[in-house]
Amino acid sequence: MTETKVFLLPDLGEGLTEAELLNWLVAVGDEVRVDQPIAEVETAKSVVEVPSPYAGTVAELHGEPGQTMDVGKPLISVTPSVESVVTNDPVLEPVETGPVKAEAKEATAAAETYRTEERTGSGNVLIGYGTPGGTATVRRTRPRRAASLVEHADSKPFDSRPIGTTGEAANKLTTEADDALLRRTRVPGKLGAVISPLVRRMAKEHGVDLGHVQGSGESGLIMRRDVEAAITKAPSVEPVETTALETRRVETRHATDARTGLGITTRTPVRGVRKAVAANMSRSRTEIPEATVWVDVDATALVEMRAGLKKSDPDGAPGLLAFIARFVTAGLKKFPGLNTRFISAEDTSGGDSQEILSFDGVNLGFAAQTARGLVVPSIRNADSLSARELDTEIRRLTAVVRDGKATPAELGSGTFTVNNYGVFGVDGSAAIINYPEVAILGVGRIIDKPWVADGELAVRKVTELTLTFDHRVCDGGTAAGFLRYVADAIENPGSALVDL
C-alpha cells in the first residue's frame, strides 16, 4: 500500500516563520511531478512559488487562500503514483527483438531514471529547503514510524493508526500523538497555554486575543470551548475579505475603544511586508545611535546634463537617481566606513564582543513604494556599474518588487541605501537606517529656489541631501566628507563622471 506523503511548509529564507497562502496552483486529484509549483505564498519578503518535492496525486490541501501558514506545518499531502514507488523488484527486460526491443529498452531505462530521480529528488533548492540532490538515497527506518505519525497528527492526511490497530489500542495511540503535538505547539511565554492549529485559526478568524484567554484544559490548555466562549462574550465581528495581495480588514460592529471612547471602524492585521518593515524599523531605532547631517545642493548642472542626454537619446538616457547612485558608490569607496556592518555579540568569556565588518564592494539598496508597502531591493556590486547600467537595474528591480516577485537575495543583501523621497513632493526627512546597514542617504525633491551663483542671485534647481548614519562606526567628519563628496558631484557632474 502506497503511503501518503505530507509536505511541510519550508523555511522560505532568512528564518521566516510564516507565509500567507495566496492561491493553490493544483487541486485535489491532480497529478504533480517533482519541482512542479503547487502553491503561491507571500512572505515578509516577496511572493514565492513553492515546488513539490514529491510526484503523485494530490490527496489533501492543508489551507485556504488568504490563510497564514506556519513554517513546519503541513502544506500539501501527495500520494505517490505507482510508477514512482521505489521497489526492490528486478527490472524485467522485454523479450521482443528489433526496433520494438530497442524502444522497450529505452522506455525501461527512462522509467528507471524517473524512479531514481524520485528517490533522490531534483536537487532544486527552495531557500533553506529542497529536494535531496546527488545520488544518495534518503532512507527511513521502520522505528521512525511512530515519530512520523506524531509529526503529522494535526494534518490528518490519512488514517495514522497502523493497520490492524483497533479499539482501545488505536485510541491510545491517537491520544499520545495528539498530546505530543500539543506539547510542540506551546505558545512562548504562556506557561501551560497550549493551542492546536485549529484553535489558533478559530481565534484569528474571530479576532480573539489568546493572550487574554484562560485555558480550561489540563495545565491551562486553551481548548476550543474556551475560544468559543470568548467569541460569545466579544462584540459582533464580521470579517470582510479582499484579494490575497491586499490588506484584509476586519469590520467591527458596535465596538468602542476603551482609551478614547470612540467607535472602532476597522482592524487591520499587521503582516507580510508591513510586519517585516515594522520589526526592522523598531530594531533600527532601538539598537542604532544615529545622527543626521544634511546639505542643500545646486543640481542645475545635473538636470541640464540629463536633459541634453535625453534629447539625443530619448529612450536610453539614465534617470537622475542612476547618476546619484553612481556618485554614492564612488563616495563609499572614498569613505568606506559608511559601507559596513556593526556586530555585537556575547564572546566566549561572557563579555560583549563587537566588530565592524567592511565589504569588498557595494550592494546599493533603494527604497521603492509598492502596493504591498515599502521595500528596498538592492543592486549587487553596484560600484562596478556605470550610470546607464545602474539605471537598467533600478528599472528592472522596481518592476520586480511591484510585481511581488523579488527574491530574498534581492531584498536582503544591501550594504547602503538611497531613499528618493522627493518623488512624494517633500524636501527632506531624517530617514530610519535600514537595519543592519549603518547609513542611509535621503534625496529630496528638486525645485526652483533663489541661489547665489558666481556672486549673483539666480533661480537654480535645488535639492536637499540628508545622511543618517550609525555613530558607532564613524564620526561626523566621515559622514560630512561623504555627503560633501556626493553634493559636489551633483553640482559638477561632468568633471565627477570623468574621474569615475
In the chain, the domains with their CATH numbers are 5-139 (2.40.50.100), 274-499 (3.30.559.10)
> How far is residue 465 CA from its own chain's centroid?
30
> How much is the pLDDT for 181?
43
Q: What is the pLDDT of residues 246-298, one digit of tens each?
A: 444 445 456 888 888 898 888 888 877 777 778 888 989 899 999 999 999 99
Q: What is the pLDDT of residues 32-88, one digit of tens each?
A: 998 899 998 877 656 778 888 889 999 999 998 888 888 888 999 999 876 554 444
Reading the block at residue 385, the C-alpha cell is 556599474
CA distance 317 to 322: 10
Does the CA dihedral 16-405-155-248 come out positive or negative?
A: positive
Return the H-helix or E-strand segment holding 465.
strand 456-470
> How much is the pLDDT for 22?
84
> How far is residue 449 CA from its own chain's centroid?
42
- What residues of the chain score a pLDDT lower than 70? 1, 12-16, 44-46, 82-198, 201, 211, 218-219, 233-254, 346-351, 500
CB 470 within 8 A of CB 285: no
Start-to-end CA distance of the chain, whole Å, equals 69
CB 22 within 8 A of CB 47: yes
> How much is the pLDDT for 269?
83
CA distance 225 to 124: 44
CA distance 497 to 301: 13
Return the H-helix or E-strand segment holding 98.
helix 98-120
Q: What is the pLDDT of residues 200-216, one digit of tens each?
A: 767 777 777 776 777 77
Instruction: Find the angle CA(187)-CA(189)-CA(193) to the nearest 5 degrees.
Output: 45
Active site includes 152? no
Return the H-helix or E-strand segment holding 402.
helix 387-402
The active-site residue, picked from 152, 206, 212, 471, is 471
Establish how many alpha carbons lie within 13 A of residue 388's alpha carbon, considering only the half-sphere containing its beta carbon: 6
> How much is the pLDDT for 83?
53
CA distance 476 to 471: 8
What string of DSSP letters covers 84-97? GS---PPPPPP---
Burial of 217-233, coded b for 16+ CB within 10 Å and e otherwise, reads eeeebbbeebbeebbee
Q: What is the pLDDT of residues 95-104, one digit of tens each?
A: 444 444 454 4
